[in-house]
Amino acid sequence: MNRPERVPVPNNLESFWMPFTANRQFKKDPRLFVKAEGMHYWTSDGRKVLDGTAGLWCCNVGHSRPKVVEAVQRQIAELDYAPAFQMGHPKAFELAARLVNYLPSPLDHVFFTNSGSESVETALKIAIAYQRARGKGTKTRLIGRERGYHGVNFGGISVGGIPNNRKFFGSLLTGVDHIRHTHDLSRNAFTRGEPEYGAEYAEDLERVIALHDASTIAAVIVEPVAGSTGVLIPPKGYLKRLREICDKHDILLIFDEVITGFGRLGTPFAVEYFDVVPDMVTCAKGITSGVIPMGGVFVTKDIYDTFMTGPEHMIELFHGYTYSAHPVACAAALGTLDTYEDEGLLTRGAELAPYWETALHTLKGLPHVIDVRNIGLIGAIELESIPGEPTKRAFTAFLEAYEKGVLIRTTGDIIALSPPLIISKDEIDEIVATLAMVLKNLA
């Protein structure tokens, strides 16, 4: 792509209330992307910026990839929209049939949504409705985890465990509890891959079950790797133990794979990476590589079949969205799957992971760095907070990296990295070298 010309900044930035953004700071000095291709964005002032975050954990195949672009263009011209209630279109069924091949049996049905937040809401509703459908209507309680992120709808922030995402919005859903998080810097700082210590934190689920009684609990939801809170990697054996406890007490286990799905760990899903099969898997982001909003919930055959009773003309699940299985989103997803498969991207993360790991851990010892952690093509650099000014140090690093031509993401005082799966070793070196330069100069 040729270097774009400078694009004027809009005269009026005020009307758009930006999400998860310091609006006043941004509007004084806006950062606007105007084009993207491959591994890069271009800014309104004509600068090239290396994408170290795959957009927002979503552009897994990179930007403006031909098969995705062409699929979307064709679909809009052919069938721009079709209702999903009592109607269908061929690409929805084609996509579902292809997607379930990426997950182990019995996860063989998928319900389409439009985002990760909607996928979580859908999974939670299915969990409660499933328990009722099988005659266990007392099982309505939902268990999340501290520091978990499950989107921003009421169900998601209720089971989520990030304080700022919860504290402004009242009492949230009732009947929700949380198990402790797994982050343990005292024992696991600068671990490469899965931490050795902390599998015992799964036993906290037994404490919560004893408090509420298993007869009241419908489901437990966790991210296999907690992403938005700052890349918290599960200790070895932790997820297997959660599965065992859920089985013991007849509780559904939901994996929120909105971030880990579609090759981020070097396997199609974290289910395969950790060799743990939950009862439901949520996805979004990488399903269309961020091109068109879309998400989904994979469920087991048992869950699906439990709803398929009663008169055939009756609706089995009173839930869905106007844009579920939107034709253009399905086309984008199919083009994305073609790109994953043609280029081997769903497993490329495994090939690059050792190089990625070695590069990231060269940042150990730089000023303010108190931890570096990695898994697959995800990384995090945790910084010591400035006393009385939490988040400021990492946000300053974000701004400095952007000025030097690399996009990173921060959460609290943690720098999070999740580049597109097409990244080269030279581009890994560029990200790490830029971060090293930034960190050496941080106050």
Nearest to 144 by CA among 247, 253, 228: 253
SS3 414: strand
Residues forming beta bridges with residue 373, ordered by sequence position:
380
Task: Find how far residue 303's CA is from the centre of its chain.
Answer: 24
Predicted pLDDT of residue 443: 82
Paired sense of beta strands 107-113 and 176-179, if any: unpaired
How many residues in total does the chain contain?
443
Q: Model-level pTM?
A: 0.96
- What percent of the chain is helix, strand and coil (3-state, nearest 5)? 40, 20, 45
Q: DSSP strand E in 153-311: where?
A: 176-179, 217-222, 252-256, 280-283, 295-300
Residue 87 burial (C-beta neighbours within 10 Å; 0-12, 13-18, 19+):
exposed
Task: Find how far residue 31's CA is from the centre of its chain.
Answer: 24
Q: How many CA atoms lie within 13 A of 378 on its CB side?
A: 29
Q: Are 216 and 256 in contact (CB under 8 A)?
A: no
SS3 165: helix
Torsion, Cα 366 369 374 379, to 10 degrees, reads -90
Predicted pLDDT of residue 2: 58
Distance (Å, whole) CA 237 – CA 202? 9
**Hey, which CATH number is domain 23-52+346-440, 3.40.630.30, 3.90.1150.10, 3.40.50.300, 3.10.180.10?**
3.90.1150.10
Q: Give backbone dihedrals phi and psi of 145, rounded to 5 degrees, phi first.
A: -140, 145
Task: Name residues whose C-beta falls within 8 Å of residue 318's C-beta, 6 or more positions apart in sequence.
Answer: none
Q: Are 227 and 146 in contact (CB under 8 A)?
A: no
Residue ranges per domain, the chain? 23-52+346-440, 69-343
User: Is the bond preceding residue 278 a cis peptide, omega within 30 degrees?
Assistant: no
| Residue type at 298 in one-letter notation | F
Predicted pLDDT of residue 132: 98
CA distances 268 to 280, 322, 391, Å, are 15, 28, 33
Q: Give backbone dihedrals phi and psi of 398, rounded to 5 degrees, phi first.
A: -60, -50
Predicted pLDDT of residue 9: 78
Number of CB atoms found within 10 A of residue 303's CB: 22
Predicted pLDDT of residue 225: 98
Paired sense of beta strands 378-383 and 369-375, if any: antiparallel
Q: Are 381 and 409 in contact (CB under 8 A)?
A: no
Distance (Å, whole) CA 272 – CA 346? 12
Write the secondary structure of 283-326 as one string of H (helix), E (strand) and C (coil). Answer: ECHHHCCCCCCCEEEEEEHHHHHHHCCCCCCCCCCCCCCCCCCC
Residue reference for tokens 């209630």: 85
CATH architecture of the domain covering 69-343: 3-Layer(aba) Sandwich (3.40)
Predicted pLDDT of residue 3: 58
Query: Which string of b and e fits 361-382 if b means at least 16 CB within 10 Å?
Result: bebeebebbebbbbbbbbbbbb
The series of mean pLDDT values per 10 residues for the chain, 443 residues long, is: 68 93 95 97 96 98 98 98 97 98 98 98 98 98 98 98 95 96 98 98 98 98 97 98 98 98 98 98 98 98 97 97 98 98 98 98 98 98 97 97 98 98 98 98 90
Sign of CA dihedral 315, 321, 322, 326: negative
Distance (Å, whole) CA 97 – CA 92? 9
